[in-house]
Amino acid sequence: MAVDLSLSWLGLEMESPLYNASGVMCRLREELDAVAASAAGALITKSCTLEAREGNPEPRYFSTPMGSINSMGLPNQGYPYYFQYAAEYDYSTGKPLFVSLSGMSLQDNLTMLQALDDLQLPCLPEVNLSCPNVPGKPQLGYDFAATAAALCAISRVYARPFGVKLPPYFDVAHFTQMAEVLNACENLRFVTCINSIGNGLVVDMDSESAVIKPKGGLGGLGGAYVLPTALANVREFSRLLDHKYVIGCGGIDSGAEAFMHILCGATAVQIGTCLHEEGVGAFSRIQSELSDIMEAKGYHALTDFRGKLKTL
């Protein structure tokens, strides 16, 4: 029997579980169109802010054989650009559209969600919790009380299903606390794990220098560097969340890592660094590798192995 990669969740039908991670191939309409025309099963826009932003000075992205480091500074066209795209998008193609929001404050996120609600479009928002909170305090996703307050405020202005993009957590107590906060929000329907591992530093031996310019070289890590952390976050939130979907992101470079994410509980998976390096051909390659793995293991559908990680 042929392998079937399709999935159905939140009333959405997808032919494939793979799509782009926010920030990669999604800043401009042409890039989004290229993802839509590829083998990807869905697409998501660049995290947007109220106003357009140039982002940080270059070089602000650097790749190594083990992944990537970036400090982009949220370069984006401003939310009206992406909402316009969402208004004109052809939803009959069968590829769901997600819109990533990353306001510079809670009020900015509420303003954007209110505007999105007014449009009544069939796209779904993914609110990026790696956004500024109060100066001197950690990003929103690392402040549990502020996240709880933000989710309450979001639910008041946006009564439809939405998701959040979570930073990685590293402590069992943090998984538990965050899951409690997320479980308390009824129309939060999905969480995407993980955003980049924050504030890494890649050093070039020859020049004895940092490789990116912003923040003295500090930047978010993606790619193979982050795979085990991403899998742990997918696994733990899949176990701890009630009736919410987990979308896996981090370190997917081939069918094997996509399989691992789904085995750990991911409903669908997003691809960042690998897509940045390889372009949209990555979707068909990874999809056929995933099919081959499933066929070799005798699995016909994603539900045959989703969330079925064995422990010793």
Ligand X SMILES: Cc1cc2nc3c(=O)[nH]c(=O)nc-3n(C[C@H](O)[C@H](O)[C@H](O)COP(=O)(O)O)c2cc1C
Dihedral over Cα of 250, 301, 5, 254: its sign: positive
The residues of the shown chain that bind ligand X, judged by CB under 6 A, are 21-24, 46-47, 61, 68, 70, 72, 74, 100, 102, 128, 165, 195-196, 222-223, 226, 249-252, 271-274, 276
Whether 274 sits among the annotated catalytic residues: the reply is no
Q: Least distance in Å: CB of 298 to ligand X?
A: 28
Q: Rounded to a whole number, what is the largest CA-CA distance in the chain?
A: 56
Q: Least distance in Å: CB of 305 to ligand X?
A: 21
**Upper half-sphere CA count for residue 237 (Cβ side, 13 Å):** 34
Query: 155 vs 29, 124, 146, 206, CA distance in Å?
Result: 29, 14, 14, 51
Q: Which residue is nearest to ligand X (CB)?
A: 23
Coil/strand/helix, residue 184:
coil
> Which of 100/299 has CB closer to ligand X?
100
Query: 234 vs 59, 102, 208, 285, CA distance in Å?
Result: 31, 21, 36, 23
Q: Least distance in Å: CB of 312 to ligand X?
A: 26
Tell me which residue has tokens 């479009």.
Answer: 121
Q: Least distance in Å: CB of 255 to ligand X?
A: 14
Q: Least distance in Å: CB of 162 to ligand X?
A: 14
> Which of 61/79 has CB closer to ligand X?
61
Coil/strand/helix, residue 213:
coil
> Which of 221/299 has CB closer to ligand X?
221
> Which of 284/303 has CB closer to ligand X?
284
The DSSP bridge pattern shows strands 162-166 and 124-128 to be parallel
| Cβ contact 16:40 at 8 Å | yes
> Which of 226/234 has CB closer to ligand X?
226
> Which listed residue (48, 131, 185, 193) is catalytic?
131
List, by residue number, the catalytic residues: 131
